[in-house]
Structure 1
Amino acid sequence: MTFKKAIGKLHLWLGLGSGLVVFIVSLTGAIFTFQDEIRDLTEPGRKVEAQATAMLLPSRLQAVALAGHPDVPASTTWTTYFGPERAATVFFTDSGSQPIMVSLNPYTGQVLNEQNLRYHFFSIVQAIHMTLLLPEAVAKWVVGGSVVVFVVMLVTGLVLWWPKRKQERRQRFTIKWGARWRRINYDLHNVLGFYAASIAGLLALTGLFMIFPALLDSAMLVANGGREYPQEKAVAKVDTLQVVTAAAQLLPDVIYRTVRRRSPGAEMVLIGPTGAGKEPAQCWAYQRALHYYHRDEYAFHPVSGQLLQARFHTSKSNGAKLSDMNYDLHTGQIMGLGGKIVAFLASLISASLPVTGTVLWWGRRHKKAKPKTQKAAALSA
């Protein structure tokens, strides 16, 4: 068996084994790519008119959002400001363990929308994309393993695609639309697979970084040229033996004011749960709304509101910046709308590859024998 035949066998059986998972993960990824744009068009209360007045403090927004949920402590909520022309949101889990998101006008506190995210279309799409609705421990290996196989298939597919002779190269770059359907299917699998390989590989790798953090750690180490940055891994801790005085203001308001002062250019500010006094309260400030790359990170004492740790984007290592960039790379939004379009097309092509590949395999197994010519029939008589 030649090397290329061995690669072909490997490509075939890996594809048949992982094809269904790759199809589902790629298709749901394509659907999820434009979730913000689609939700802006279809959901009420996503945008507001910018005003010259200051936005309300998080404690005010939390109080309004929880008015209909008196059993939910404000300290368990996630509060997010998305910029001057977008609604703020308060997210929490209610007494029935349902994930609720309340959208409010950040200037007036008016409730614009309340959603149960468990039944939200894009929440379901995201859950299928990430776990196939399987238990997390199982999904990690089913989805992660299939994505690893997909990366291997991209490499083996390029080996099989590579033309031996120069005159074949033009043919390998184009789809022969006027041919029979079997040839069109062959070209769709090979030509589109070639064009999408680099972007599909990037999407797959960034997805693997989310599933297997050890892979991301390795990529960060490479980005840092092998250098370690222990200070970036340092975790803020609360000294529970220290006697502290509670902040004069409500803790979320202290956090919000401090972050606005220290990261004045941030459009999006996310304040995490303030907790029960044992773990630091966290806050993240992002330069652009709905983009997660450029961010400053803060940790506060959960009682006094004292700033325990601040990590600014400008002072981060290349590896840390790569880690922050991972989600935006995975969704294509690192390059704005154009990047999303490219990621969408690459995901659609990735979803098509198991289909066209299976049709190829099925066609070869059930290929009809060519009718014998009269001369061949005469010779065999």
Structure 2
Amino acid sequence: MTGFHIKPALLQIHSVLGLAAALVLASMGVTGAIMGFEDEIQAGLDASLAHVTARSDAPLAPAELVARLQADPDAGKVAAITLSRDPTAAVHIRFARGENGGRPSSVLVDPYDARVLGTPRGEAFFATVRRLHRWLLLPGDGNGAGRQITGATVLGLVILLITGLVLRWPRRAGSATSWLKPQLGLSGRGLHRSLHTVIGTWLLPVYLVMALTGLSYSYNWYKDGLTWLLAAAPPPMPKAPREGRSESRPEPKPMALDLVWATVLRETGDRFAAIQITLPAAGTTVRVRAWPREAHDGVRDEFRIEGATGRLQAAERYADKTAGERVLARILDIHRGSILGWPGQLVFMLAGALMPLFSVTGVLLYVSRRRLRRPPRPSPAIQLVPGE
């Protein structure tokens, strides 16, 4: 089949997919742009709450912080603790989900006396934006229909990018300048087409990176494929011992957070700026993440620690990862462009904010193309009155 016959078919595919995905893509683009500088915005909003006066006394250990907070009968169950080595930084405490399944609330706490300073500003807003971005606020969140819709939409975006590039490919090498320069002096359909195609060409690499990384949050098979492609084969996991009869099972040991903290300090030393301790909802394994100074979210070490004894069960150090494993660890940094620093974040944020432009111009181009294809209406026959 010649290119003359292929391009009309690709245009039809491009148009139908674009119409079907226009609204969802616009929503995901805008919400992604809003979250582009979420950390920086949160830090600015919480500047007055997140800082305390440094004291000569040592900060409270996590076990003492949790004990003082849990002494309040109205407080929820502590689910995670984020501490900073900065002596003027507040401790971020996140609580477990309530019985209604709502999003956990969190508070900022004085590390020296466990005094609650307040609730982080904007946290609920960004949580809603994130749910809209990933699951369209549909029931079930990650287990509902929203995840399937956004996943299928991102797959459609990949097809839109490929078909758009083929349709846009210049016929002559000398036409590349006009191919990459928007014609802002046009109006109507010509302007819509120029904006849609030229700006889309410039942003195509950004959208492709967003789509190929975003799919790992929608489909387990895609995430497993990336892991198989980029990561070394993990060592076989030891088989868990069989459980006996319920009456012979040993009683679970109480959580010894002081032993966990001692193991964390032994493994991390003074190399890290922030440490997050996530307490188990079930079982006794505590998950710990440790970030070095001036690091992005994906550059971190992770540990699994037995909560009752403080025994180190597993350690994943970023410095020991292969290049492929580092890519997997920083998939979120790649997705939002922060792997390139704030200039990358800015470019990716602007690309997300411009997504509605392609939805609107794509719909306008489709409507105008349909109008041009309509056969002209026959003009009514002129009846002459005798004598005229």
The bucket for the TM-score relative to the shorter chain is 0.7 to 0.9
Counterpart in 2 of 1:156? 163
- Give unpaired runs (5+ residues) of structure 2: 377-388
Out of 35, 40, 57, which is 1:32 matched to? 35
2:284–2:308 CA contact under 8 A, matched in 1:
no
Aligned partners of 1:279, 1:33: CA distance in 2, in Å? 35
Shift of 1:367: 4.9
Q: Which amino acid is the alignment partner of residue 179 of structure 1? A: L
1:60 aligns with 2:64: yes
Shift of 1:127: 0.6
For residues 1-381 of structure 1, the aligned pairs below 5 Å read 2-43=5-46, 44-48=48-52, 54-70=58-74, 72-74=76-78, 77-84=79-86, 86-93=89-96, 95=98, 97=100, 98=102, 99-114=104-119, 120-134=124-138, 135=140, 136-224=143-231, 228-231=232-235, 234=237, 251-264=256-269, 265-275=271-281, 278-288=283-293, 291-367=296-372
Shift of 1:361: 1.2
Shift of 1:324: 1.1
Q: Which amino acid is the alignment partner of residue 13 of structure 1? A: V
Q: Which amino acid is the alignment partner of residue 88 of structure 1? A: V
Q: Which amino acid is the alignment partner of residue 35 of structure 1? A: E
Shift of 1:155: 0.8
1:196–1:350 CA contact under 8 A, matched in 2:
no
SS of structure 1 residue aligned to 2:272: coil
- Give unpaired runs (5+ residues) of structure 1: 372-381
Aligned partners of 1:235, 1:333: CA distance in 2, in Å? 37
Residue 105 and residue 340 in structure 1: after superposition, are their counterparts in 2 closer, same or farther (change >3 A)? farther
Counterpart in 1 of 2:385? none
Aligned partners of 1:24, 1:83: CA distance in 2, in Å? 38
Residue 140 and residue 246 in structure 1: after superposition, are their counterparts in 2 closer, same or farther (change >3 A)? closer
Shift of 1:90: 0.9
Aligned partners of 2:20, 2:242: CA distance in 1, in Å? 52
Higher mean C-alpha displacement, 344-353 vs 52-61: 52-61
1:327-354 C-alpha deviation (Å, 9 max, x unpaired):
1112222222122102101212333211
Shift of 1:32: 1.0
Aligned partners of 1:201, 1:181: CA distance in 2, in Å? 28
1:80–1:271 CA contact under 8 A, matched in 2:
yes
SS of structure 1 residue aligned to 2:66: helix
Shift of 1:12: 0.6
1:153-211 C-alpha deviation (Å, 9 max, x unpaired):
01111111111123422111111222224322212111111111111111111111111
Q: Whose Rg is larger?
A: 2
Identity %: 27
Aligned partners of 1:289, 1:140: CA distance in 2, in Å? 33
Residue 358 and residue 78 in structure 1: after superposition, are their counterparts in 2 closer, same or farther (change >3 A)? same
Aligned partners of 2:176, 2:274: CA distance in 1, in Å? 48
TM-score, normalising length: structure 2 = 0.82
SS of structure 2 residue aligned to 1:56: coil
Counterpart in 1 of 2:380? none
RMSD of equivalent CA atoms: 3.2
Residue 301 and residue 151 in structure 1: after superposition, are their counterparts in 2 closer, same or farther (change >3 A)? same
Residue 255 and residue 336 in structure 1: after superposition, are their counterparts in 2 closer, same or farther (change >3 A)? farther
2:287–2:303 CA contact under 8 A, matched in 1:
yes
TM-score, normalising length: structure 1 = 0.83
